[in-house]
Structure 1
């Protein structure tokens, strides 16, 4: 997680300074996202598969932190988004009766950074085109309890990697202080490290500084970790509070 954390710290440290030096506007959001998770790892012991609904994630989550920031000047903007989650719990075991229990601890950190250009804006809609990257750090530890003595197995894999991204965002204000937003990105199409996400939100501005948003987010990750094909899908509702300066 170290490289991803340093990217987040650098962005959040530079953003307010840049906003002040260049007279750019700055906004920051703290939000809660408790995603359902679908995980598949093609291990030497069989396909380790499992899922967590949003409700069961609340029981198995060990730590989570999520935040985003944006600085903007005219048509140009810089956006950053960071998520970290540590989840543990039981999963279905592979190979039928060979194993009686499977426990998986999954740690995931992802920092997404974008440079965005506003292609169109009027009183009804704003449209941004963005390019950037997503840096991942993923650690997966699995323990398989065998039904026969001496048959227990362990699997520990981890990886840090970066994927280039293309994205787009639409913001549509309506009904005085209400606004809707949709965002999507995709990256890694030309290699084995593919990721994409989509988010749709509804927000309300209390004043010029404060607003709140309700949203639904889906993030997909398809890669190789430790040489093993790994797929992760995170999806669920989120709620955020934003401040703009």
Structure 2
């Protein structure tokens, strides 16, 4: 029978959720300057995306000792139950409202050594990260724009562990943390041709966390006035500590997105 170290699987489950979702201070991965205006003058962009990120850092939960982890995207994908990531923007003249939602659920099952305390252990980890902010274009022309941006990001990390069989049969425990960070920075894009553009962002802040940052750069292609796509690279970091709960990680990897404009 295969055995597995319980603290290790708990920590991997928790950390894995944020590498897919972390959300973090996300920005639309598509151009806003070239979208089609509605009659009201508003421009809207909705962009689901996928982030194949690995994760490294230190965490502590359930009163366990602090654990250092370094997991690639393949380790995370093996235990993924569900993930949803999408961002949206409403833009009017130089002003913009940006929202982003990330939800990831990870599940893992393992056997304990000798099966004395439990025959098996189930671990479920859920992470939600949501960003809402506003921007203003300090530079803008027909080829693109550069915005100053400010907003609030809310994190929620929850892990549930349950024991089946053995001396701990029926025992279930959970550990969680929820916090909010204020973030500021720059966002923008620039069209080299009517179809090809570059987009990027850099945000930093804190509040509940000591530091919370997000940077990214992508190259996009506009198929028509309705659909565009982008591929790039993104890295985020967050350092949160409170009452024995430690979440100090850096996540980075390639990102792919498809944007719909209306």
TM-score for both structures, normalised by structure 1? 0.74
Distance, in Å, in 2 between the alignment partners of 1:66 and 1:191 is 23
Partners of 1:141 and 1:108 in 2: how far apart? 12
Tell me whether 1:195 sits opposite 2:232 in the alignment.
Answer: no
C-alpha RMSD of the superposition: 3.0
Please say which of residues 79-88 and 201-210 is displaced more in the overlay. 79-88
Alpha-carbon distance in 2 for matches of 1:137, 1:228:
12
What displacement does 1:32 show? 1.5
Structure 2 matches for 1:115-154, cutoff 5 A?
A: 115-141=134-160
- Residue deviations 1:53-81 (CA, integer Å, cap 9, x gap): 12222212111100000011100010111
1:143 is displaced (CA, Å) by 8.4
Q: Which has the higher strand share?
A: 1
Match of 2:225 in 1: 208
Change (3 A) 1:34 1:62: farther
Q: How many Å separate the matches in 1 of 2:248 and 2:122?
A: 17
- Candidates 54, 75, 79, aligned match of 2:94: 75
Question: CA-to-partner distance for each residue in 1:1-22, whole Å, 9 max, x for gaps?
Answer: xxxxxxxxxxxxxxxxxx9795
**Relative contact order (C-alpha < 8 Å, sep 6+): which is higher?**
2
CA distance in 2, matches of 1:143, 1:226: 23
Distance 1:219 1:203 in 2: 21
Equivalence for 1:157: 175
Q: What residue number does 1:236 align with?
A: 253
Task: Tell me the distance in 2 between the aligned counterparts of 1:89 and 1:200.
Answer: 33
User: Does structure 2 retain, via aligned residues, the 8 Å contact 1:136–1:161?
Assistant: yes
Question: Unpaired runs of 5+ in structure 1?
Answer: 1-18, 91-101
Aligned equivalents of 2:179, 2:142: Cα separation in 1: 40
The number of equivalent residue pairs is 211
Gaps of 5+ in 2: 1-36, 110-120
